[in-house]
Amino acid sequence: MLHREPLQEIAEEQVRAFEQDGAVCLRGMFSADWLAALAEDIERDKAEPGPMVRRNTPPGKPGEFFVDFQLWRRWPNCRRFVFDSPAAAIAARMLSATEVVYYHDHLLVKEPGTEECTPWHHDQPYYPVDGWQVGSIWLPLDPVDRATCVEYVAGSHRWGRWFRPRYFNRATSELAVSDDRFEDMPDIDAERPRHRFLAWDLAPGDCIFFHGLTVHGAPGNRSASRRRRAYATRWLGEDARYATRSQISPPILEHGLQRGDPMACALFPPVWPRAARAKELS
Ligand SMILES: O=C(O)CCC(=O)C(=O)O
């Protein structure tokens, strides 16, 4: 069944854990039907990718690190996920938001044997978005063990630091964004003893909710047989404002927003409360 509400209630301590650590695992939120619907669209997208597709595995190397964006604009189940899945309710609860806007989606598939990691980064410097209520749902469609899971540096969203965005493909240079706030990402692996890391064994239906400033990275997929398909969706609360940056990723343009505007527009649709969305459509 394609249910609209989370299958499990989100407890107050899970919201507190997110606020404190910047990432929390939410178990059993989505039914197998939702995962199957998304999986269908992911295969459609792999066969016929969008204009922003990135293939991060060099030719001749094993596996494939396939990245694409904005599936919801092209595929029906991803679109339903935005408006009719539990995701908007999860985002509203976790961001303590009364209004939620959908920002974008990001597909990250690591086929078996993929060696490429996802480098340490945090998401918000890639976006033209200021504000605190910025969060993602990282939803895997395959079982993921801790060793393959995205790893989060606990509490890093509260460091008050903004790190320079770089493309995931190390052969590509950093984004040309000049912002006085931005500094180079420290060598998180070298600093391991100084941090607490969060990662989980995830079963289908589980997801991770994390903040736009939480530092995270992920290993490749060393499994010889198991895919690692992850559908990440980005959600904004009412304090999010459009910020001009010289280069952004993904390059979603033509929204017509001006600096300081609330993010809601046709490209970034309001999704919560659901009643407001229904009114908007009527
Ligand atoms: O799935 C991955 O490898 C990384 C995910 C990620 O960086 C994100 O969702 O922001």
Closest-CA residue, ligand 1 atom 9, reads: 232
What pLDDT, in 10s, does the model give residues 73-91?
999 999 999 999 999 999 9
Distance (Å, rounded) from C-alpha 11 to C-alpha 27? 11
Of the pLDDT bands very low, low, confident and very high (cuts 50, 70, 90), residue 23 is very high
Task: Work out the mean pLDDT of the chain and round it to a whole number.
Answer: 94
* Average pLDDT for 101-127: 97
* Average pLDDT for 146-171: 91
- The pLDDT value recorded for residue 166 is 85
What pLDDT, in 10s, does the model give residues 189-229?
999 999 999 999 999 999 999 999 999 999 999 999 999 99
- The pLDDT value recorded for residue 245 is 83
- Is 54's pLDDT higher than 60? yes
Pocket-testing residue among 57, 64, 65, 106, ligand 1, by greatest number of atoms within 8 A of Cβ: 106
Q: Is the CB of 127 under 6 A from ligand 1?
A: no
Instruction: Go through the domains of the chain in sequence order and give each one's CATH number.
Output: 12-281 (2.60.120.620)
